[in-house]
Chain A
Amino acid sequence: MLAITTPYLWYTSRATGMVAMILFTLVVTLGTFVANRIGGTIVGRFEINELHRSLSIVAIVFLGLHILTTVVDSYVSTGLISAFIPMTSSYKRVPVALGAVAFDLILAVWVSSLLKLRIKNQTWRFIHWFSWLGVTTSLVHGFLTGSDARHGFGLILVGLCTLAVVSAALWRFLGRPARAAGRTALSPLAAAPAPRLNPKLTPSGPRRPGVPTSSGPFPRNPRPPQSKARR
């Protein structure tokens, strides 16, 4: 195993880790933009999607540099194995383990996106949800491991990234498109307002048997069942 030690490796590791943190925060935020269907007026939706995809590649390159410099630097005994398998590093066991977990999750998301044409869409989506877990873990890893993350500029940076991720997650949850309400292309009638079922408000006029009325026991245009998938 290559083992060099020079402060420059450490500097590179710190700097690339910081940049990777910023980039992954941006990638997740842009992914939220895509999922919440932002764009189409000033900036095209496809442009946000393209930026999301391209920035993720840049972020992965920086993450690779971050891990490579950490592994090559023999000042701390963090080997190649502990980059993938958690709890194998004697140096800062738990924080480095969090980094390994984040790396594995990001790898899973990346590989699933590379295989997007070959795997089922549900599989890809399921794996893509783990990017939230990955970015959260990496932020905690950055805060616990980072030599600069406890004070000054680094702390502000970690705080800003955390704020961005948390607000993106909230926005993703609250602002999700209302597809489950039945507003799909195949059921345009579902966009009509649901009939009122309050008995006090339904007019109870004379009813001929056999003729369905709008105020009958069955709603004429029932609201489709709320699907479990929110979109």
Chain B
Amino acid sequence: MGVRRKSGGFVLKVNPILCDGYGHCAELAPDLVRTDEWGYPIVVAVPVPLSNLGALASARYAVRGCPRKAMHIERVADES
């Protein structure tokens, strides 16, 4: 078990130039990504708290599973 962060969040980001609409991210992180009608991802833009370990794990799976390596996780600090 790692250190559990109590503050901060993350956003799953997609590089639209690299993306080819394989749709693997929507399968791996269904809570964070849905696809538009052409199969391209629409990612939740609101930061998810880092304490949500399940969401973080699925985001990491989406990053790892992308055939075009078009995704990355961006950390954001709390505003307060």
Contacts and interface: CB of A to CB of B under 8 A. Distances in A.
Interface string B43-80: 00000000000000000010001011100000000000
A37 B24 CA distance: 10
A169 interface: no
Task: Identify whether the interface residues of B are mostly helix, strand, loop, or mixed.
Answer: loop
Contacts of B40: 184-185
Interface in A36-53: 37, 40, 44-46, 49-50
A40 B18 contact: no
A45 B22 contact: yes
B78 to A, nearest CB: 29
A121 B68 CA distance: 7
A199 interface: no
Range class of the B interface residue count: 10 to 19
A184 B38 contact: yes
A175 to B, nearest CB: 15
Contacts of B16: 185-186
A93 to B, nearest CB: 39
Contacts of A37: 22-23
A50 B61 CA distance: 11
A220 interface: no
A45 B35 CA distance: 14
Given A44-B27, A185-B38, A188-B38, A50 B65 contact: yes
Contact of A46 (B18, B19, B24, B68): B24
B20 A49 contact: no
B65 A46 contact: yes
Interface in A174-229: 179, 183-186, 188
A51 B44 CA distance: 28
A183 B38 CA distance: 8
B21 interface: yes
B12 interface: no
14 contacts: A44-B27, A45-B22, A45-B23, A45-B24, A46-B24, A49-B24, A121-B18, A121-B68, A179-B21, A184-B21, A185-B16, A185-B38, A185-B40, A231-B20
Interface of A: 34, 37, 40, 44-46, 49-50, 116-117, 121, 179, 183-186, 188, 231
Given A49-B65, A179-B20, 12 more contacts: A37-B22, A37-B23, A40-B27, A45-B22, A46-B27, A46-B28, A117-B69, A121-B69, A184-B21, A185-B21, A185-B38, A231-B20
